[in-house]
Amino acid sequence: MKKLLLATAVIFSSLTATAQTPKWINNVKLSGFGIVQYQYNGKENSKSNSFNLRNARIALDGRILSDWYWKMQIQFNGNTSTLGSSPRLVDLFVEWQKYSFFRVKAGQFKNPFTFENPIHPVEQGFMGYAQVVDKLAGFSDRAGTHSSNGRDIGVQVQGDFLKNSKGRNLIHYQVAVTDGQGINVKDIDQQKNLIGGLWVMPVKGMRLGWFGWRGSYARKGQWTDAEGDHNGIRKLQQRRYAFSAEYCTNDWTIRSEYAHSTGYAFAKTMNNTNDASASDCALSSNGDKAQGVYAMVIAPIIKEKLHAKARYDMYQPSKGAAKQRTQYEIGIDYEFSKNIKLSGEYAYIHDRALAKPNYSIIDMQLSFRF
């Protein structure tokens, strides 16, 4: 057996040494990251105290010719039985980048909604994305979509233009047409989502943005309403908008975003295309309104090494404040290098939907990337 393996290795080495390597192979880059987490959650009747493998990803990206950029990324975290936590493809797209003012992307990629959505998980700064981003940008979306990491399948155009005297662009735009069903799932209702954003950059490090979202989320299954029992496709229209502001300078990061949603949601989040959640078309009791806002600051104690951070994070899953959930967070980060970071934070939670609304979360995360 050892001789066979040795012979195979020698033959493979000979072939790769003599074969002409395609030029595009030299542009392929392997990268990835992992996040190891410890979290204490003091929520009444569901307390937890556990280590966790929060996230791990492997990515390949590169160029074909000089104008085409491509990327493929796979995420691992948890078991393989559900859409929400199984190893899955999160990115697969190609983008034509010949002109900075007009780039075209096709495949599976981030929804162009809010500033925070496309930020790398290691660089985002806190134990998770803000609630309003999580619920309205396509992570654990309020509509009932399976966990999609803020992504969907479609086509997008984007670009930067209007340079100032120093050659810095002042305006950025991005517009995408997507299926509206989340990652790795085909369209059901034949209605596409139109999502777009426009932001201005009046001074270096500052962005002021506006975003809009018009589309639907649908399921094929059964439901009952005032008119009786139904079997077929149920389409839920989604209308969303967001306002964003960010200023990053001298290792400081200050960002705040507000988003609002109009549109009903399914009662159960889909976890698996083959189980009952995929065809359960009953509506959530949260109604057709939701909104949220967050404001955060990350301040250097030792520049590019040690940071203090704080965030106010509020989300209302229904009209009014009856079910409002608010997080008050403080924490600290230490960067051993650009590729290894230790972060910790304390969060005080006030959740009006609970009988006992107040509890605490302590979160520690060690992240690394290559």
Number of structural domains in the chain? 1
Distance between CA atoms of residues 296 and 313, nearest Å: 8
Given this model, what pLDDT does residue 333 score?
97
Given this model, what pLDDT does residue 29 score?
95
Residue 6 binned pLDDT confidence (cut-offs 50, 70, 90):
low
Q: Is the pLDDT of residue 325 over 60?
A: yes
Q: Are 273 and 285 in contact (CB under 8 A)?
A: no
Is residue 261 one of the residues assigned to a domain?
yes
Give the burial string for 137-157 (b: 16+ CB within 10 Å, else e): bbbbbbbbbbbbbbbbbbebb
Given this model, what pLDDT does residue 81 score?
58
Is residue 93 one of the residues assigned to a domain?
yes
Average pLDDT over residues 284-309: 98
Instruction: Give residue-wise pLDDT tens across range 351-365.
Output: 999 999 999 999 999
**Length of the chain, please?**
370
Instruction: Give residue-wise pLDDT tens across range 303-316.
Output: 999 999 999 999 99
Given this model, what pLDDT does residue 65 score?
87
CB atoms within 10 A of CB 320: 10
Instruction: Give residue-wise pLDDT tens across range 10-63.
Output: 544 554 554 556 666 778 999 999 999 999 999 999 999 999 989 999 999 999
Mean pLDDT score of the chain, rounded to an integer?
92
Q: What is the CATH classification number for the domain harbouring 154?
A: 2.40.160.10
Distance between CA atoms of residues 294 and 315, nearest Å: 8
Is residue 6 one of the residues assigned to a domain?
no
**Three-class SS state of 312:** strand
Structural domain harbouring 248: 25-369
Is residue 9 one of the residues assigned to a domain?
no
Instruction: Give residue-wise pLDDT tens across range 71-92.
Output: 999 998 765 556 666 789 999 9
List phi, psi (to 5°) of 347: -125, 130
**Three-class SS state of 72:** strand
Is residue 12 one of the residues assigned to a domain?
no
Given this model, what pLDDT does residue 5 score?
46
Q: Are 213 and 241 in contact (CB under 8 A)?
A: yes
Q: What tokens were used for 68?
A: 């085409």
Q: Is the pLDDT of residue 4 over 80?
A: no
Given this model, what pLDDT does residue 272 score?
83
Residue 293 binned pLDDT confidence (cut-offs 50, 70, 90):
very high
Is residue 20 one of the residues assigned to a domain?
no
Q: Is the pLDDT of residue 279 over 70?
A: yes
Instruction: Count Cβ atoms within 10 A of the Cβ of residue 213 and give its class: 0-12 exposed, 13-18 middle, 19 or more buried.
Output: buried
Instruction: Give residue-wise pLDDT tens across range 109-150.
Output: 999 999 999 999 999 999 999 999 999 999 999 999 999 999
Which one, of 210, 200, 204, 206, lies nearest residue 172 by Cα? 200
Q: Is the pTM of this model over 0.75?
A: yes
Instruction: Give residue-wise pLDDT tens across range 223-276.
Output: 999 899 999 999 999 999 999 999 999 999 999 999 999 999 999 999 888 888
Which one, of 247, 337, 259, 341, lies nearest residue 294 by Cα? 259
Distance between CA atoms of residues 302 and 80, nearest Å: 42
Given this model, what pLDDT does residue 298 score?
98
Q: Is the pLDDT of residue 8 over 50?
A: no
Given this model, what pLDDT does residue 13 score?
55
Is residue 315 one of the residues assigned to a domain?
yes
**Three-class SS state of 144:** coil
